[in-house]
Amino acid sequence: MARRWAPDSWRSFTALQQPDWPDAGALEMALKQVAGFPPLVFAGEARSLQGSLAKVAAGNAFLLQAGDCAESFEEFSAVNIREKLRVILQMAVVLTYSMGVPVVKIGRMAGQFAKPRSSATEKIGDLELPSFRGHIVNDLLPTAAARIPNPERLVQAYHQSASTLNLLRAFTKGGFADLSRVTAWTQEFVASSPEGRRYEELSMEIERALQFMHACGVDTDSFPMLHEVDVYTSHEALILGYEEALTRQDSLTGQWYDCSAHMLWIGERTRQLDGAHVEFLRGVGNPLGCKVGPTTSPEWVLELCQVLNPARIPGRLTLISRMGADKVEDSLRPLLRAVKDADQPVVWACDPMHANTFTAPNGRKTRHFEDVVAEIAGFVRANKAEGTWPGGIHIELTGEDVTECTGGTDDLTQDDLDDRYETICDPRLNGRQSLDLAFRVAELIRAGA
Ligand code: TRP
Ligand code: MN
């Protein structure tokens, strides 16, 4: 029954969304180089993430997966990484405190470089150019030369991932994420806003609770869990040559792991059951995600579960629903029911971003904050109706004060989009909108929407 699998067995399947590398020799050299580099994550870390996700699957924890749509080679700095981490920590604190369950934190960070595109070319003005496929492949500049896929970018993506992960590890284990600093994560532009003040109140309650425990004689210093946090990494496993080059055999278990990130997901456009992406990921031991859109049938989802998680390991598979605010309830319920009836222990997460994107009259791609909230509300209602756990959210955000999504308490309008529209791909929630969202999500889940 079990078909043979190897890190390169995907090569005899159809791989969609792969760049047209013009120079096969240069590609081979770059991949060889990456294959010789140390792994970015350990198998043991991927296993502990899977254990945490198993708690989410059982309804005892919540998943927060968040970060850039696409990381950029140009916007690569300590400040950028720190600001993103701040927002994620703030959201995690709000969710943990308000929901009373542990929050599993996964960044779309340290490797989220590759973008699937609906068309091989795009029109910019009068120019027809090869599509931008993310900085791991080509450059955003609108010239023919910049759009040629360049394999040296695979090597650069590895190095940027390594330094991002290094800083993440330093921040999360070295004091920055200490719960006693919960107020210090607020950025200036957030502090005076309504959600900033709400956060300040909540963080003061947490600090008082910690002081109270201390006054009662609990030696809070001696509990590392109050001072450190696990933030895992994830990205869409799109460029399979790169993923293969970082796939290593775990010396403890003999199992293969894709050591480019803790968790990998399959996108809506590359999730063919007989395609190369599913083939590659079924063989690695990492926890996996798969996006599911409104055209997904219950039969297809059950087959996917069977292929990616035949042993029904809880936490192995996260299904990330991206239906659209108006469709989510009707489209999701049959899937929730089928998976539940088949006893597949998956995590259900909601990506409220990708099916709510539209182009404003000024040509900017955007999303409205209330559509994002509405999709999560529908997701929560669907789960409540089917008796399943709305396990988490998958969000595109940045720590910066950008104007890419409309709405929120500062009520950004379509006219504001030009002010600070900095994304190289999809529109992201800014720091204020993200914090606001965390409060709204906690309320929705507590109320059952
Ligand atoms: N380690 C705990 C957790 O991850 C508590 C914690 C410490 C925490 N620092 C944090 C929670 C920052 C959220 C954000 O849940
Ligand atoms: Mn995106």
Reading phi first (left if > 0) and then psi (alpha if -120 to 50, else beta), residue 324 is in: left
Q: How far apart are CA 295 and CA 151, in angstroms?
A: 34
Q: How far apart are CA 56 and CA 385, in angstroms?
A: 18
Calculate how far, in angstroms, residue 270's C-alpha sits from the geometric centre of ligand 2: 14
- pLDDT score at 168: 98
Q: What is the pLDDT of residues 278-327, one digit of tens each?
A: 999 999 999 999 999 999 999 999 999 999 999 999 999 999 999 999 99
pLDDT band per the 50, 70, 90 thresholds, residue 187: confident
Reading phi first (left if > 0) and then psi (alpha if -120 to 50, else beta), residue 379 is in: alpha
Query: Is the pLDDT confidence value at 199 over 90?
Result: yes
Calculate how far, in angstroms, residue 210's C-alpha sits from the geometric centre of ligand 1: 13
Q: How far apart are CA 186 and CA 114, in angstroms?
A: 30
Looking at the CA of 92, which ligand is closest?
A: 1
Q: Where are the alpha helices (DSSP H) in 368-430?
A: 369-386
Residues of the chain with CATH 3.20.20.70: 17-123+151-177+232-447
Question: pTM score, two decimals?
Answer: 0.97
Question: Among residues 193, 161, 218, which one has the least CA distance to residue 430?
Answer: 193
**CATH architecture type of domain 17-123+151-177+232-447:** Alpha-Beta Barrel (3.20)
- pLDDT score at 2: 66
- pLDDT score at 192: 86
Q: How far apart are CA 246 and CA 339, in angstroms?
A: 32
Nearest CA to ligand 1 atom 4: 229
Q: Which ligand 1 atom is the nearest neighbour of the CA of 93?
A: 13
β-strand pairing of 357-359 with 347-350 = unpaired
β-strand pairing of 256-258 with 247-249 = antiparallel
Between helix 152-173 and helix 78-99 the angle, nearest 10°, is 50
- pLDDT score at 44: 98
Q: What value does the mean pLDDT take over residues 391-413? A: 94
- pLDDT score at 299: 98
Nearest CA to ligand 1 atom 13: 93
Q: What is the pLDDT of residues 239-280, one digit of tens each?
A: 999 999 999 999 999 999 999 999 999 999 999 999 999 999
pLDDT band per the 50, 70, 90 thresholds, residue 60: very high
Who lines ligand 1 at CB under 6 A?
Answer: 89, 92-93, 96, 102-103, 177, 179, 225-226, 228-229
- pLDDT score at 317: 98
- Mean of all residue pLDDT scores within the chain: 96
Q: What value does the mean pLDDT take over residues 8-20? A: 98
Calculate how far, in angstroms, residue 240's C-alpha sits from the geometric centre of ligand 2: 19
Nearest CA to ligand 1 atom 5: 226
Amino acid at 230: D
Q: What is the pLDDT of residues 158-184, one digit of tens each?
A: 999 999 999 999 999 999 999 999 988
Q: What value does the mean pLDDT take over residues 206-215? A: 94
**304 backbone dihedrals φ, ψ, rounded to 5°:** -60, -45
Looking at the CA of 427, which ligand is closest?
A: 2
Amino acid at 208: R
Q: What is the pLDDT of residues 61-118, one digit of tens each?
A: 999 999 999 999 999 999 999 999 999 999 999 999 999 999 999 999 999 999 999 9
